[in-house]
Amino acid sequence: MATPLVVSDVAKSFTMHLRDGIKLPVVAGVSFSIRSGECAVLGGPSGAGKSSILKMLYGNYAVDAGQIIVQHEDGLIDLATASPRTVLAVRRLTIGYVSQFLRTVPRVSALDVVAEPLVERGEDREVARGKARALLAQLNLLEKLWALPPATFSGGEQQRVNIARGFITQHPILLLDEPTASLDASNRDVVIALIAAKKAAGVALLGIFHDHDVREAVADRVIDVTAFAAGKIAA
C-alpha cells in the first residue's frame, strides 16, 4: 500500500510575544504515517494538540521542527518547509481538509461554497454544481437552503455544507477535524458512509472524532497524541 503522508519528529510551540514572550509547548516528536485506504484517528484529551497537528499538516500552522513528507503529483514535498505557493498547490490537488467550522463568504451560495474546490481544480462549474447538489442531498440539507449563503444556517447545517465541500474532490489525503460534532444520528451515519467510500477509493484519511460511535465505525487505528506531549520529551 502507498504511504502518501509521513510525519517525522514534528514539534510545535507558541511564543506569546504579548505575554512577555512566554513559550507554550504543544507537541514534540510527532511521528506517524498514513497509508492509502486507511482512516487513522488522532486520540487524546482536549488540549493534547490534535487540532494543532492537523493544522500543521494543512500548512495552516507553522512547524518548529521536523518533516511532513507528502506525495504530491509525481514527487515528495516537505510541507514543513514548503513555500506558500507549494502549500497552495498541495491543498488544491493533494490534501483536503474539513475544518470544525465553516468560514463563510458573504453572498456566496451554499451550493457554490461546496462546488468551489472542484472549480479550482479546473472542473466545469455546472458539472461541479451537479456533484454539489448530489452531496448536499445525500447529507439531507434542505433543498431550499442551497441557493442561500450559509452564514445564517444552524451549526449542523453549516457543518454539512463544510463536509460536502471537503468530500466533493478526490484529494488523495483527507484531514477531518471533528466533522460530526454537531450532527444528528442519521447524518452521522451519512458521514460514516462517506468516509467508508473514501477509504474504498484509496484515500488516506486522518481525523479527530470525539464521538465514540463514529470513531468505532471508521477508525482503522488510533494514534495516541499524548505520546507526543511536549513536556514528555527531555529538553
List contacts with another protein (CB under 8 A). 14-18, 55, 59-62, 84-85, 87-89, 105-108
Name which of 69 and 89 has its Cβ closer to another protein.
89
Least separation in angstroms between residue 176's CB and another protein is 18
Least separation in angstroms between residue 117's CB and another protein is 12
Closest CA to 37 of 202, 227, 208, 177: 202
Name which of 128 and 195 has its Cβ closer to another protein.
128
In the DSSP assignment, the letter for residue 74 is: T
Strands 204-208 and 39-43: parallel
C-alpha cell at 208: 479527530
Contacts (Cβ under 8 Å, ≥6 apart) of 20: none
Least separation in angstroms between residue 14's CB and another protein is 8
CA angle 106, 109, 115 (to 5 degrees): 120
Name which of 177 and 194 has its Cβ closer to another protein.
177
Least separation in angstroms between residue 137's CB and another protein is 26
Least separation in angstroms between residue 100's CB and another protein is 13
Name which of 75 and 84 has its Cβ closer to another protein.
84
Least separation in angstroms between residue 166's CB and another protein is 15
Contact (Cβ atoms closer than 8 angstroms) between residue 34 and residue 204: yes
Contact (Cβ atoms closer than 8 angstroms) between residue 21 and residue 189: no
Least separation in angstroms between residue 213's CB and another protein is 30
Contact (Cβ atoms closer than 8 angstroms) between residue 147 and residue 110: yes
Q: Beta partners for 67? A: 8
Name which of 54 and 219 has its Cβ closer to another protein.
54
CA 79 to chain centroid: 15
Name which of 107 and 144 has its Cβ closer to another protein.
107
Name which of 29 and 61 has its Cβ closer to another protein.
61
